[in-house]
Amino acid sequence: MSVFDPLDGWFEKGFRVRSQKAATARRDQARSRSGSAPSSTSGVKFSAGAKSKNVASVIRKAPEVMVKITGSSSGLATVKHHLDYISRNGDVELTNECGESIHGREEVKELREQLKASQVPHDSNKREFLHVVFSMPAGTPEKAMRESVAQFCQEEFANRRYVMAFHGDTDHTHVHVCVNTRDIDRADEPRLSPRKADLFRWRLGFADKLRENGIDAAASERRHRFNYRKPEHSAVRQIRADNPSSAVYNVRRATANAEDRVIKATLQPEKAFVGPIRPPRLAKVQQAAKSELQAALRAGTRPPHPAEQRIQASKIKTLASWSEVVRNLDAAGERDLAQSLAKMMREADKPVTSRAQELYDLAKSRRSQDRDHDR
């Protein structure tokens, strides 16, 4: 019996959505009735005590892994652009499912020819490739990151073609994986079509591989950590990064874009843009938030939290489960871990505010400061 048994529902049966494995299981049942061999896809293999190690990492507030599907390709015509992107036009090394290195434009071109020979269509109405990103905070050792992703892919994407590329020059160390959705040998094998449950299982597996390679990492839901605020949408973040008046204005990105425009104008002056520069964009959600804030300030009413009741109910359940874990840790003599968990629970007792409420409080505070200054 584990001290973390009260959390079984979180990490094993906490999803009410179907997973990719369900489709594979149904296919195996049909094959067994017809006398065919079962599916060749086994999925990622977890180490002994992976659940306990993961929960301990969550309590220690280890970095959370990110596994994200960033897009897909419907054939060779579109996967070409993605391969050029992740290989930085041949400057970054790619590694395939056999561990072979692919470097340079010519070798990337040969890879596309191999995919063409393996009957990957030029264009299709189905997803032929998935674009997956495995990410960790900046500073994560490259060797451990590469080995962890490679071990994960060898188990989870067994008998599928894929290439991976390591990028360590951004704010987050990450590995791009471009994986073929079709099985190499069996045409009747279910295509790779991960659901929410699969993505969480991938996160658990990736974190487990990182821990095996000496990197403390965790995979949990936001509610496990009492974090009830959804992250900013990537499209909104990019718009803010391109706006010079934004607090997160990305100077490096703006400089690179300006240099790119100069190069294009030099190479093709007849196509150079000579019109007025487009003013900085403002995301529609930001425009709506600004309008709502102005209306709330005029009315003098603090905006309500739209999910306050749901958050409170979730917090009560989470605290109850963690409380039982604290008692189990104390009984097992894990005092340091129990104290860390108790501290996390105390920090979670503070009220939850929305972005709109924080903006309202900030605006009210600044207005009162301005009035005091005028006096």
Decide: helix, strand or coil at residue 204. Answer: helix
pLDDT score for 26 = 60
Fold of 5-220: BirA Bifunctional Protein; domain 2 (3.30.930)
Dihedral sign, CA of 286, 291, 296, 298?
A: positive
- Please spell the DSSP secondary structure of 154-197, one letter per residue: HHHTTTS-EEEEEE-SSSEEEEEEEEESS-SS-TTSPP----HH
- Give the C-alpha separation, 67 to 146, whole Å: 14
Task: Give 226-277 as a DSSP string.
Answer: T--SPPPPHHHHHHHHT-TTSTT--HHHHHHHHHHHHHHHHH-GGG---SPP
pLDDT at position 137, please?
93
Secondary structure (3-state) at 374:
helix
- Cβ distance 206 to 177 under 8 Å? no
- Determine contact, residues 38/186, Cβ cutoff 8 Å: no
Phi, psi of 164 (to 5 degrees): -135, 150
pLDDT (0 to 100) of residue 217: 96
Q: By C-alpha distance, which of 305, 139, 93, 174 is closest to 83?
A: 93
Under a CB-based contact definition with an 8 Å cutoff, are residues 136 and 124 in contact?
Answer: no
Report the sign of the C-alpha dihedral through residues 343, 348, 350, 356, in that order.
Answer: positive
Tell me how far apart the alpha carbons of residues 254 and 364 are, in angstroms, rounded to a whole number: 34
Q: What does the domain layout of the chain look like in residue ranges?
A: 5-220, 308-374
CB 253 within 8 A of CB 261: no
CA–CA distance, 71 with 81 (Å, rounded to integer): 12
Q: Identify the three-state secondary structure at position 84.
A: helix
Q: What is the 3-state composition of the chain as percent helix, strand, coil, each rounded to the nearest 5?
A: 50, 10, 40
Nearest to 215 by CA among 152, 161, 303: 152
DSSP assignment of 10-77 equals HHTS---S--HHHHHHHHHHHHHHHT----S---PPPPTTHHHHHHHHHHTTPPBPEEEEEEEESSHH
pTM of the predicted protein model: 0.79
* Nearest-10 crossing angle of helices 335-347, 308-331: 160
Q: pLDDT per position in the chain (375 positions), as tens?
A: 567 777 766 655 444 445 555 555 665 565 555 554 444 445 889 998 888 889 899 999 999 999 999 999 998 889 999 999 999 998 999 999 999 999 999 999 999 998 888 888 888 888 999 999 999 999 999 999 999 999 999 999 988 999 999 998 888 899 999 999 988 877 777 888 898 888 999 999 999 999 999 999 999 988 888 888 888 787 887 887 888 777 778 887 788 878 877 887 788 877 776 666 667 777 787 888 888 888 988 898 999 888 889 999 989 988 988 998 888 888 888 888 889 889 989 988 788 888 888 888 888 888 888 777 766
| Rounded CA separation 359/291 (Å) | 12
Residue 164's nearest CA partner among 181, 185, 184, 178 is 178
Q: What pLDDT, on a 0 to 100 scale, did the predictor assign at position 15?
A: 42
User: What pLDDT does residue 148 have?
Assistant: 97
Place of tokens 């340091």: 336
